[in-house]
Amino acid sequence: MKFTLNKQEQYTVFKLQEEKLDSSIAPKLKTEFFTLYQSGMVNLIFDMGNIKYVDSSGLSSILVAKRLSEQINGYLALAGVSDHVMKLMTISKLDSVLNLIPTVEESVDAIFMAELERDIKEDEKNK
């Protein structure tokens, strides 16, 4: 499995350098997500711009990342989802539970907004 990582202070961009996210890649991807979250990463942008095909194993790996993100009050953004993959996510109703954002840049903005919302909620709790 080929991928690139771009670690920033507030987020990490994970870009899969594969066209298919299927059962041959999904177990390795899940392991990589576990490793990233255990390393202290909170916000992840999964750049799916190269991915043309996803099967149920691939969707499962994305849901693992979502669950890991929620456990630490983080934010998971899926950026650059192709039309074909978007149709699959819509049919499976995942478009209603995942943060599907057109570009990496817009995903960065969404993460900063989510961080602000978390800070405001935390401030309100502490009042």
Which domains does the chain possess? 3-125 (3.30.750.24)
In this structure, are residues 12 and 43 in contact, taking their beta carbons and an 8 Å threshold? yes
pLDDT for residue 17: 97
Number of neighbouring beta carbons within 10 Å of residue 91: 9
* Per-residue tens of pLDDT for the chain, all 127 residues: 999 999 999 999 999 999 999 999 999 999 999 999 999 999 999 999 999 999 999 999 999 999 999 999 999 999 999 999 999 999 999 999 999 999 999 999 999 999 998 888 887 877 7
Closest CA to 104 of 47, 33, 51: 47
Do 110 and 101 form a contact (C-beta atoms < 8 A)?
yes
Question: pLDDT tens across 46-79, in order?
Answer: 999 999 999 999 999 999 999 999 999 999 999 9
For residue 127, the model assigns a pLDDT of 72
Q: How far is CA 101 from the centre of its chain?
A: 10
